Structure 1
Amino acid sequence: MKKVLILPLLVFCLMSCGSEKKEEKAINYPKKTSLKQTDPKLKESINRGELVYNDLCITCHMANGKGAPKAFPPLANSDYLRDNQVASIKGIKNGMSGEIIVNGETYNSVMAPLGLSDDEVADVMNYINNSWGNNYGKMITSQEVTKVIKK
């Protein structure tokens, strides 16, 4: 009689071990996140800035942000962008001309004013400051763009 009871119990145990409903014992730690992923306002601004970039900037500065050698400067890993945020904001808002040196290369092209609002300038700055490996500074707001433009 004991053997008869042990056999169903053994079968039940074996079937339970193969069950698809296993208890998860591992602790799920969050992945390391960048500022882009943790600040929803910055993420929204970057998304809007990408639309502006793809509409107006991509032709010269390319999808990868590397620009065109000797003609249009790179934005990806750009020392000029990193070190000249105010001049970059003014350039996006008002256009720019004259010599600039980016990553040791001299550029002397003309960037026409794009007719962007201060909100759009802030968004595209946030996009380029946080794309292609760039991590240049804090979130730029339209209020900061307005202050820069009025100087």
Structure 2
Amino acid sequence: MSKEIVNELGSALDNTAALIESFNQEELNKVPFAGSWTAAQVARHIYLSLAGLDKLFNAPAEPANRPAGQQVDEFKELMGNMDIKMQSPEYIVPEDKQFDKQDLIESLKDVKKIAVEAAINTNLETVPPLEDGHPLKGVTKLELVHFLAYHNQRHNRQIKNIRSNVK
């Protein structure tokens, strides 16, 4: 199960990069409708959500005192429900600026390499040391990889929706 979800995360990030590639520079930074991020901001948000995963996964971690995948189905259901509008924690809210398409694509490729390698080389049955108040504190690394894969897939659907509104 763990190898498959790591591959799924990698594929989701590849899809994000391909989706961003399908925009021209102007479309990428165009707000599709009121209250929405641009496709560039969604890509930046994905990057921010994965940046530092290697440090987190390489830090000392406690063994889980429950099945490592206990919350996987809950995360899949939550992230798959596009009727729910979620609020991102401030530290992964993208900047309000014009992003360069090639820089975004390169950052997504870089974070994919780092995140996938970190997930492959860690014990996914341990609990990473997240700060008090972090919305995912207490989840296992396995659940975190699932969450990140489903989160990325959710935002890929969002990027497709944005694309249909700016083209």
- TM-score range for the pair, normalised by the shorter chain length: under 0.3
Q: Which has the larger radius of gyration?
A: 1
TM-score (norm 2): 0.24
Alignment TM-score, normalising by the size of structure 1: 0.26
- Higher normalized contact order (CA 8 Å, seq sep 6+, divided by chain length): 2
More helix by share: 2
